[in-house]
């Protein structure tokens, strides 16, 4: 049986030294936890935590506290579409009021400028959605367009081009060079920017339309069973600002579910880094790497946690980037009122905007604080059927097949002085928060930070079994290509190829139990 526990990785010593740990692997990289008001763990407490998060080898019954994957912040699993939309179970009355204000801003539909509703104007001029909830449907998972020719809606394409050899280095690139970390420099497309925006306000051309074509491939499974995988091919039709570059790199992204983000943000960086093994020093075939992102808030490198390639270090910065890129709304961390418009998009830059009134930015600091608080406190639903014999067998298969090498079951969050909802909670996200090579089949061939074109952050699995109930579909992976959990498993390659092959060849009843376990999360 493989587990995700690793010894101190050799290639991370420059990272730890620069981040303030003085090269001592036992000490946390304090700079990476700038977003947390952490009360340091005592030696005794650290020992207790290590024992609690150790993987189990007893599958005869559920583990203690397994019913509450979000710790004290867990909420009862609802049977309707609001299962992802509840506040932390341990939130205060005052906190719930702030949560509701944040929810209102998250659901707000923005309008173009000028408008009589100045509190809601500033949309675009180029955008992918009019509001956060339009992509994160019911705080859940987005999906590809329902039919050819429809706008992307809750899915878009990231864009970039290789950085010229004489390009000035960014701050994060300078840092990565000093830290001795590998990366492939790239830049947003000089005309189309960092993502394709398929919608626009009146009078401004949209950037183009994402088109997806699928090819089906049959996969033979043990016991005479089979599955069909659909491989997507992406193209951009009707480019609105001239021909696309031959070296344009694209990456499809479906909006992920929002639950448990504050708890993931509260995991000490040292606990995540302790699971990294970039050189596969233990020889188990798993080589998780940390993403390093530049913090707009702190002006410093931090551990990347959020996004499909962990490109943002905090929920606030993930939210700020989404407001600017997806909706075209300026905010204190991304103050450009024209959103992601480039210098080549003159009409877009010169269009009216909503940043010239009393708010300053189109969403101000107070509004961003409410949205961040809301996103931090979307609760994880309680487990279902975890004592069912088939679920317990599926859990044993999950562990025995090696899935926990990347989908790490448990963490304990930091003790936090100002976030009681997330403070010192035993959580079960089933993610190590690291980047892994997922093989050529899932590769987007577009680097991001230290992630190459085959690497993705391990997606948390908590709540995944409620996707159909909340969102009305069972489309998974970063681009929604998988139409079931089994298809998602069968797309795993690279480091996960041995586990995937084991699923193909195992007895059908074990394969069914494995899927049943994942559905119970």
What is the pLDDT, as a whole number, of residue 22? Answer: 34
pLDDT digits (tens, 9 = 90+) for 355-407: 877 678 999 999 999 999 999 999 999 999 999 999 999 999 999 999 999 99
Res 89 pLDDT > 70: yes
Domain residue limits, the chain: 10-142+257-520
The band of 409, judged by pLDDT with boundaries at 50, 70 and 90, is very high
The pTM of this model reads 0.93
What is the pLDDT, as a whole number, of residue 30? Answer: 41
Res 13 pLDDT > 50: no
Collect all residues with Cβ–Cβ distance below 8 Å to 449 and sequence separation of at least 6: 172, 176, 183, 291, 292, 293, 304, 309, 310, 311
Give the separation between CA 270 and CA 290, rounded to whole angstroms. 11
Give the separation between CA 477 and CA 491, rounded to whole angstroms. 9
Return the structure tokens found at 339: 């959103």
Nearest to 277 by CA among 495, 446, 52, 18: 495
Give the separation between CA 373 and CA 419, rounded to whole angstroms. 10
Beta carbons of 368 and 319 less than 8 angstroms apart: yes
The band of 208, judged by pLDDT with boundaries at 50, 70 and 90, is very high
Give the separation between CA 162 and CA 32, rounded to whole angstroms. 28
Which spans in 389-431 are helix H? 389-400
Res 24 pLDDT > 60: no
Res 76 pLDDT > 60: yes
Nearest to 464 by CA among 61, 84, 53, 73: 84
Alpha-carbon dihedral sign for residues 197, 202, 205, 210:
positive
Return the structure tokens found at 380: 């994880």
């Amino acid at each position: 049986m493989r587990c995700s526990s690793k010894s101190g990785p050799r290639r991370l010593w420059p990272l730890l030294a620069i981040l303030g740990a003085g090269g001592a692997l036992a000490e946390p990289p304090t700079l990476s936890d700038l977003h947390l008001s952490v009360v340091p763990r005592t030696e005794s407490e650290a020992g207790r935590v290590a024992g609690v998060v150790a993987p189990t080898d007893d599958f005869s019954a559920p583990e203690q506290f397994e019913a509450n994957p979000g710790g004290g912040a867990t909420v009862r699993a609802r049977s309707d579409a609001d299962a992802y939309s509840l506040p932390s179970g341990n939130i205060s009355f005052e906190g719930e009021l702030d949560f509701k204000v944040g929810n209102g801003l998250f659901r707000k539909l923005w309008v173009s400028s000028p408008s009589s509703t100045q509190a809601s104007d500033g949309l675009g001029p180029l955008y992918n959605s009019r509001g956060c909830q339009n992509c994160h449907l019911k705080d859940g998972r987005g999906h590809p367009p329902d039919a050819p020719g429809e706008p992307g809606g809750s899915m878009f394409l990231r864009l970039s081009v290789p950085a010229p050899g004489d390009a000035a280095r960014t701050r994060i690139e300078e840092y990565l060079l000093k830290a001795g970390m590998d990366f492939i420099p790239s830049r947003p497309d000089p005309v189309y920017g960092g993502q394709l925006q398929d919608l626009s306000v009146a009078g401004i051309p949209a950037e183009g339309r994402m088109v997806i074509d699928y090819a089906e491939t049959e996969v033979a499974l043990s016991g005479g069973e089979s599955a069909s995988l659909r491989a997507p091919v992406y193209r951009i039709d009707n480019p609105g600002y001239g021909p696309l570059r031959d070296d344009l790199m694209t990456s499809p992204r479906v909006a992920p579910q929002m639950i448990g983000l504050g708890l993931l943000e509260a995991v000490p960086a040292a606990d995540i880094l302790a699971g990294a093994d970039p050189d596969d020093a233990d020889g188990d075939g798993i080589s998780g790497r940390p993403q390093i992102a530049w913090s707009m808030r702190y002006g410093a490198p931090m551990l990347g946690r959020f996004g499909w390639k962990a490109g943002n270090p905090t929920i606030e910065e993930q939210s700020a980037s989404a407001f600017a890129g997806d909706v075209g709304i300026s905010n204190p961390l991304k103050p450009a009122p024209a959103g992601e418009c480039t210098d080549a998009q003159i009409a877009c830059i010169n269009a009216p905007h909503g940043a010239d009134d009393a708010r300053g930015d189109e969403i101000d600091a107070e509004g961003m604080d409410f949205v961040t608080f809301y996103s931090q406190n979307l609760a994880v639903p309680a487990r279902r059927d975890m004592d069912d014999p088939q679920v317990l067998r599926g859990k044993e298969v999950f562990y025995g097949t090696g899935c926990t090498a990347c989908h790490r079951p448990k963490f304990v969050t930091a003790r936090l002085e100002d976030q009681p909802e997330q403070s010192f909670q035993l959580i079960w996200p089933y993610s190590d928060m690291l980047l892994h090579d997922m093989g050529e089949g899932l590769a987007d061939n577009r680097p991001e930070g230290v992630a190459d074109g085959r690497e993705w952050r391990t997606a948390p699995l908590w709540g995944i079994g409620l996707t159909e109930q909340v969102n009305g579909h069972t489309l998974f992976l970063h681009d929604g290509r998988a139409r079931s959990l089994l298809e998602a498993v069968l797309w795993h390659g690279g480091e996960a190829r041995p586990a995937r092959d084991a699923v193909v060849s195992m007895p059908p009843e074990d394969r069914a139990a494995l899927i049943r376990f994942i559905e119970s999360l």
